[in-house]
A = this chain, B = another copy of it.
Amino acid sequence: MSNPSLLILPGDGIGPEVMAQVKRIIDWFGANRDLGFDVSEDLVGGAAYDKHGTPLHDDTMAKALEVDAVLLGAVGGPKYDDLDFSVKPERGLLRLRKEMDLFSNLRPAQCFDALADFSSLKKDIVAGLDIMIVRELTSGVYFGEPRGIIEEGNERVGINTQRYTESEIARVARSAFELARRRGNKVCSMEKANVMESGILWRDVVMEIHQAEYADVELSHMYADNGAMQLVRAPKQFDVILTDNLFGDILSDCAAMLTGSLGMLPSASLGAPAANGRPKALYEPVHGSAPDITGQGKANPIACTLSFAMALRYSFDQGDEATRLEQAVEKVLADGVRTADLMGPEDGTPVSTTGMGDAILAAL
């Protein structure tokens, strides 16, 4: 049997730096755990634009559709701020999500014990926090038509369309309910059904799927503005949060920041299972390209490392190996190894990106 295939897209900013460490970890699994991957590498985002004039070359897109999983670093940076909308780095990522049909974006917001002090929230509010946000990723206002800037009368008008079909809502709801069953068995669905008809349909469909297929899971609903409040007030009330593309963008970033562990948080974007049982899948850290620290060896490779652990679990059915990697990360943290983002000004000397990679490899 041939090795499973993995496409690596380091991207921009600190993407290549953190990915360099994860490549060492991938190699370690090949050498020591008989888990070889057929790894290829390509460009995305600003890096692709610089070479090809497009943030995602068609060949790269084709490759992404062929492989068993994609691992991405980060895209974007101030260098590309003035580019036309159609070739901005972000468009590369959005095209991957859309053409791979990755409708279910899993964003754990987890507070690592060793880092609870690092949150801006009080320790008792966040210690032990473990939420999973399931964000719809291929529809809504990110992709709805009509869109654009038009002339009307004497002025410009900016237009985007929030658009959700019943089946788009149903499939991401199912993925949230499935996940909840393997966790705390609770789903809270968030929308603005008091203001938006698309939110009414969202709520209706989530309730229908729940009643017909997942009545054993505890379901609640919250308006998204109240959801943001409750995340800040008492985040531990949540288990799985199910929401749309735009609300998910904001609420998951808010939740990630609550944990104080932003440089630690991975994400998975999953599509429907293919013939071989594997979903199309893309894994990436929650953090961005961090232009302010790019090239300084300061970036924390843990979020990208844990994204690879999610790949082991969700794409390659290697839950035990995923746990092995996660435990290595936990050990490193428990030993006090810290990159700069995990330290206060008086906490001593941080390790570099490579130093953290070394420590994780040693712990493995």
A197 contacts which of B149, B192, B198 (Cβ < 8 Å)? B149
Q: How far is the CB of A243 from chain B (nearest CB, A)?
A: 11
Within 8 A of B (CB), among A117-141: 120-122, 125, 141
| Oligomer: number of copies | 2
Interface of A is mostly: helix
Residues of B within 8 A of A156 (CB): 165-166, 201, 205
Contacting pair B163 A162 (CB below 8 A): no
A276 proximal to B (CB < 8 A): no
Residues of B within 8 A of A163 (CB): 157-159
A25–B233 Cα distance when bound, in Å, is: 31
A247 proximal to B (CB < 8 A): yes
A147 proximal to B (CB < 8 A): yes
A90 proximal to B (CB < 8 A): yes
A155 proximal to B (CB < 8 A): yes
Contacting pair A157 B166 (CB below 8 A): yes
Residues of chain A having any CB pair with chain B under 8 Å: 76, 85, 88, 90, 94, 120-122, 125, 141-142, 144, 147-149, 152, 155-167, 192, 194-202, 205, 224-226, 228-229, 231-234, 246-247, 249-254, 256-258, 262, 288
A258–B157 Cα distance when bound, in Å, is: 34
Q: How far is the CB of A191 from chain B (nearest CB, A)?
A: 10
Q: How far is the CB of A81 from chain B (nearest CB, A)?
A: 9
Residues of B within 8 A of A228 (CB): 228, 250-251, 253-254, 257
Q: How far is the CB of A31 from chain B (nearest CB, A)?
A: 38
A157 contacts which of B76, B192, B201 (Cβ < 8 Å)? B201
A180–B232 Cα distance when bound, in Å, is: 26
Contacting pair B258 A232 (CB below 8 A): yes
Residues of B within 8 A of A257 (CB): 228-229, 232-233
